[in-house]
Homo-oligomer: A and B are copies of this chain.
Amino acid sequence: MDEKLKELKETMGTLTDLGHASSLLSWDQETYMPPGGVESRGRALATLGKMAQEIGTDEKVGKLLEELGPWAAEQDPDSDDARLIIVSQRAYDKAVKVPPDMVAERAMLTTMANAAWREAREKSDYSIFEPHMEKIIEFNQRYADLFKPYEHAYDVLLDDYEPKMKTEDVKKIFADIRPKQVELIEKIANAKQVDDSVLFKHYPKAEQIAMGEEIAKLIGYDFNRGRQDEVHHPFQTTIGYGDQRITYRVDENFFNTYIFSIMHEGGHAMYEQGVPKSLSRTALYGGTSLAVHESQSRMWENLVGRSLPFWEFYYPKLQARFPEQTKGVSMEDFYKAVNKVEPSYIRVEADEATYNLHIMLRLEIEIGLLEGTIAVKDLPQVWDDKFEEYLGIRPRNNAEGVLQDVHWSFGLFGYFSTYALGNLVSLQLWEKINEDIPGLDDQMRSGEFGKLLGWLNENVHAHGSKFYPQDLVQRITGSKINGDAYIKYLNKKFGDIYGL
């Protein structure tokens, strides 16, 4: 079996290398590629994707897995090799259902759609993006149908980002937390409002970037295995082992934009940097699901970056860096400012209390589009109506409405829910971490994050994608994904800030 396992791993190494190239091509597309390169980039990505699909679905791989399956069943079920076979078998079974031409089609489609989306958002003109969106929906419908029979077509899409998660489960979780979040938001709306004017002073870009590098290093992001670059829509990407990059956007007139995206993407990157080398070049490399990934980014962004202990430590340094901007603002007031709750248009800038509502409306819209109950041409109208229903405000244009997110232009459908699920998981983990690390608040108060990162390395990162997300969360916390800890956290934190 050793020979067969070796052969399987060699194929995975090749797939890793193709993925390495694709990741760099995509990263470059967002950071430095000149506009003229868009078409040839689309073709290159399409070809690499198609090759990876062909290699990954080759019947040789199927045969190897078939032969290795019984052997794997006799191994320690938690061992790397046993999990490798099981996870690979699942991936193989899914991949063989997708014809190579469709893989190439998606790459080409989304390269063009993304370029159109950029222009559309810039001009706040949905009509530029609409024909591409039509194609993307049609593609996703066709894609879902490859996996018939299914309980719900949306399950197929969701499963690509959140293995084994069902649409029904997500709906139930959202139905549970939505009224509780709405209740909190209403209470906050009636409380004394927070003054966040300090955030809207002028913070020069170069100074912000220097601060971001300082904070990213402080929390444990390794620049020897990464870098930060400017983009329109921040993301984290792993090019290959030892190369986990983060990206950022800077608003010189709004403090939150840059620094919280650095901590957010840094959280994603530290997850990937924490996956051991022994899993690299296998199907177990990288994070296990988007929700678990998001639990890491949101933990560093919110549970650390928007916490009182963090600002107790960092605010004096911030004041030293930006003395004019922070003049006359106490640490407590600054803490309240970065935590101000207010319904707003842009998801990525939403506060912790309203954030999940942005996701819930997207879930409803995605399901509607897939089912055909929402027409692509009506999307702006539907968006604005639902937005008003969920958040009580109405977008003033498409750029701050339906065009705000990059995801659909990349064909990413079924993805958004994982953001809200990630919020919930971050708190489930956080409760456990605070049991396991007494005095964590005191550590943060003195700028120490090593024990926290060490815990995450050991309990989350070390497993790569060995365990499916629900299983991993259950293993660590004893429960499946649910909103209890998150709601408790929101009520406590914002109860204190708003004196509820």
Contact = CB atoms under 8 A, between A and B. Distances in A.
A380 interface: no
Interface in A179-221: none
Given A13-B47, A14-B47, A47-B13, A20 B40 contact: yes
A363 interface: no
Interface stretch (A235-243, A257-265, A288-296): A235-243
Interface string A44-65: 1011100100000000000000
A240 B37 contact: yes
Contact of A40 (B28, B223, B242, B245): B242
Given A39-B241, A41-B240, A41-B243, A25 B32 contact: no
Contacts of A242: 34, 36-40
Interface stretch (A224-232, A368-376, A411-419): A224-232
A48 B47 CA distance: 12
Main secondary structure of the interface of A (DSSP, over half): helix
A17 interface: yes
- Identical subunits present: 2
Contacts of A280: 40
A21 interface: yes
A35 interface: yes
A28 to B, nearest CB: 6
Interface of A: 13-14, 16-18, 20-22, 24-25, 28, 32-41, 43-44, 46-48, 51, 222-227, 229, 239-243, 245, 280-281
Given A20-B25, A43-B240, 18 more contacts: A13-B43, A20-B41, A21-B24, A21-B25, A21-B48, A24-B24, A33-B239, A34-B225, A35-B224, A36-B226, A36-B242, A39-B241, A40-B239, A40-B240, A40-B241, A40-B242, A41-B243, A44-B240
